[in-house]
Amino acid sequence: MLSRFLSCALALGFAAAATAQTFRSDEESFRVVRMAEGLEQPWCVSFLPDGRMLVTEKPGRLRVIANQKLLAAPVEGMPQVTVHGQGGFFDAIPHPQFEKNQLVYLSYAARGEGGVGTELARGRLAGNRLENVEVLFRQSPKSNAGVHFGGRIAFDRAGYLYLTLGDRGDMPRAQKHDDHAGSVIRLHDDGRVPADNPFVGKAGWKPEKLDLGHRNQQGAALNPATGVLWTHEHGPQGGDEINIIRAATNYGWPVITYGVNYGSGTRIGEGTHKEGMAQPIYYWVPSIAPSGMAFYAGDRFPKWKGDLFVGSLKFQLLVRLRLDGEKVVKEERMLHGVLGRIRDVRAGPDGYLYLTTDENPGVVARLEP
């Protein structure tokens, strides 16, 4: 009976592989493999040096994929996550020296004085448990708004830590000096503020801020060619942006934007340009609702090397951008409606592209040649 069951299972497996749907882009052909299903709004997928993967679920669970299988039990020892509107558990990223220190960095919404805000913590991953969890950063001030938490984490080549934040649905906060909202935060890996942050010692400024003028950044990736951080953010009705992050730069929101007010379509701020405020390197009108972003530098898809990939929540697709230095020269849209709302996009160390979907149930999928 068992041998018959195994034979049927193997036959079904081979049949499924044989009939797997193949997709063709302008440059490469690929198939979509669902690695994990039944997840609750998976926000992030990241990679450990031993081949395991970490997956976050919005309600506050950290899951592990080992040997290409999702482990049933969530990781224990998580900090308290507050699910509030768009807020919940965002990123879980290993330290660049994870093999030595076993540290994992977490971003999530948490309740505190004044309401809810984005926080950053780290803990040591021991088996299936986080130990010695400590909070490194708390967004201030908090509020009761349920939108625009940001929440992406990135490390640069020098080991500095970056956290993206949104304006929390209160547009003027993105231009306030004494407010973390609408900024990229830059820290040492232990949470200390670097002495060369641009606003350190400047009266009335939050020293953790690297820049200002963002609406809601839900994509962040280090350009492998330059080592410079790129982010993207949601616009209102139109005006999603990709920006190259540079210290002390004002990215304009809400003074300048390519978007307009929801419903009425009326202008926001002063137009699309203003002296002293940076222009995006690329923007979308109408909005695609971007989330997740990755530069592709692997060998599985040689014709995609150097391209930038962005997920779209609104149109349920994957965007491929061909770059010429800091200029986007071509856009291609793929996988429309195949997986659902794409929340995260990551380039794996194995050369595959990995996606998560903002669905319940959601999936972790990868693109294979």
Domain count within the chain: 1
Instruction: Compute the average pLDDT of residues 273-284.
Output: 98
Quote the pLDDT of residue 144. Answer: 98
Determine whether 266 is exposed, middle or buried from the number of CB atoms within 10 Å of its CB (0-12, 13-18, 19+): exposed
DSSP 114-138: TEEEEEEEEEEEETTEEEEEEEEEE
Quote the pLDDT of residue 179. Answer: 98
Quote the pLDDT of residue 211. Answer: 98
Instruction: Compute the average pLDDT of residues 228-252.
Output: 98
Query: Out of 9-18, 214-223, 261-270, 308-317, which region has the weakest mean confidence (pLDDT)?
Result: 9-18
The answer to the question of residue 15 being in a domain is no
Q: Sign of the CA dihedral 262, 111, 58, 91? A: positive
pLDDT at 240 over 90: yes
CA distances from 186 to 174, 217, 220, 253 (A): 16, 14, 13, 20
User: Left (φ > 0), alpha (ψ -120 to 50) or beta: where does 173 sit?
Assistant: alpha
Instruction: Compute the average pLDDT of residues 263-290.
Output: 97
CA distances from 74 to 62, 78, 99, 219, 299 (A): 6, 9, 21, 25, 32
Percent of the chain with pLDDT over 70: 95
Q: How confident is the model at residue 1 (pLDDT cuts 50, 70, 90)?
A: very low
Q: Which two tokens stand for residue 293?
A: 């972003």
DSSP 201-236: T-TTS-TTBS-B--S-EEEEEE-TTT--EEEEE--S
The residues with which 282 forms a beta bridge, in sequence order, are 242
Neighbouring C-beta atoms of residue 225, cutoff 10 Å: 11
Pairwise CA distance, residues 134 & 120, whole Å: 9
- Residue 323 near residue 297 (C-beta atoms within 8 A): no
For residue 148, report the phi and psi dihedrals to the nearest 5 degrees.
60, 60
Pairwise CA distance, residues 361 & 336, whole Å: 18
Quote the pLDDT of residue 14. Answer: 32
**Which residue from 178, 98, 80, 203 is spatially nearest to 135, judged by alpha carbons?**
80
CA angle 62, 337, 165 (to 5 degrees): 45
Mean residue pLDDT of the chain comes to 94
pLDDT in tens, 68-119: 999 999 999 999 999 999 999 999 999 999 999 999 999 999 999 999 999 9
Quote the pLDDT of residue 13. Answer: 36
Instruction: Compute the average pLDDT of residues 118-137.
Output: 98
Pairwise CA distance, residues 343 & 45, whole Å: 10
pLDDT at 154 over 90: yes
The answer to the question of residue 2 being in a domain is no
Quote the pLDDT of residue 20. Answer: 59
CATH number of the domain to which 49 belongs = 2.120.10.30
pLDDT at 55 over 80: yes
For residue 172, report the phi and psi dihedrals to the nearest 5 degrees.
-60, -20
pLDDT in tens, 281-330: 999 999 999 999 999 999 999 999 999 999 999 999 999 999 999 999 99
- Residue 363 near residue 339 (C-beta atoms within 8 A): yes
Which residues, 6 or more positions from 362, have their beta carbon under 8 angstroms from its beta carbon?
A: 37, 39, 40, 41, 42, 340, 343, 356
The answer to the question of residue 13 being in a domain is no
The answer to the question of residue 9 being in a domain is no
Q: How confident is the model at residue 8 (pLDDT cuts 50, 70, 90)?
A: very low
CA distances from 271 to 180, 216, 250, 277, 343 (A): 24, 19, 15, 12, 30
pLDDT in tens, 177-223: 999 999 999 999 999 999 999 999 999 999 999 999 999 999 999 99
pLDDT at 11 over 90: no
The answer to the question of residue 10 being in a domain is no
How long a stretch of residues is the chain? 369
The answer to the question of residue 1 being in a domain is no
Structural domain boundaries enclosing 350: 30-368
Quote the pLDDT of residue 245. Answer: 98
Instruction: Compute the average pLDDT of residues 237-249.
Output: 98
Instruction: Compute the average pLDDT of residues 228-236.
Output: 98
Q: What is the maximal distance between C-alpha atoms in the chain? A: 77
Residues with catalytic function: 148
The answer to the question of residue 24 being in a domain is no
The answer to the question of residue 346 being in a domain is yes
Quote the pLDDT of residue 353. Answer: 98
